[in-house]
Amino acid sequence: MARKKKFPRESAVSMTELVLPNDTNTLNNLMGGRLMHWMDIVSAISAQKHSNRIVVTASVDNISFKHPIRLGNVVTLKARVTRAFNSSMEVRIDVDAEDIPSSTKMESNSAYFTFVAVDQLGKPIDVPEIEPESEDEKIQYDGALRRRQLRLILAGRMKPSEAKELRSIFDISE
């Protein structure tokens, strides 16, 4: 039986947070751990919307901070599923920070989180496929397989020689 297909827009989630004193370090910047917590929440909701299942975080890609987020900034986190495999889903999260009094907005960072859909016993369960619509969604979809293979290699779950999508990048011969 073929898996049902869904569009990335069906998993789109936006979350807004205000950076309060309890969220900051001694320099009045948002603590990285707090931002990662928010990113995990918004991306999990996105994965749940796509799969209609309980999801667990399987991996988090590199998170680099372009600009500090300051006390009083409004943080907007946007997430959507970029590709679904058997039971796993890659979710992209984009984070913006806004200083409303000065009318300035900046991109803080983006990242990819991977989630696995599970049943009530915690066993992986199949999820719907993704059908990208826009050009950006198609680019994200195509890149997701390379990112997945790289994650599996780094986790020791795939040999570099098995990563067909990465061969051209790493000049790996068969």
pLDDT of residue 112: 96
Confidence grade of residue 31 (pLDDT, cut at 50, 70, 90): very high
Domain boundaries, the chain: 5-131
Confidence grade of residue 146 (pLDDT, cut at 50, 70, 90): confident
User: Which fold does the domain 5-131 belong to in CATH?
Assistant: Thiol Ester Dehydrase; Chain A (3.10.129)
d(CA 129, CA 153): 23
pLDDT of residue 84: 97
Mean pLDDT (the chain, rounded): 91
Percent of the chain scored above 70 by pLDDT? 89
Percent of the chain scored above 90 by pLDDT? 76
**H/E run at residue 21:** none
Q: Which pTM value belongs to this model?
A: 0.89
Residue 142 has pLDDT above 80, yes or no: yes
Say if residues 169 and 45 touch (Cβ distance below 8 Å).
no
d(CA 158, CA 25): 39
104 burial type by CB count under 10 A (0-12 exposed, 13-18 middle, 19+ buried) = exposed
Note the helical H segments in the chain: 32-51, 135-154, 167-170
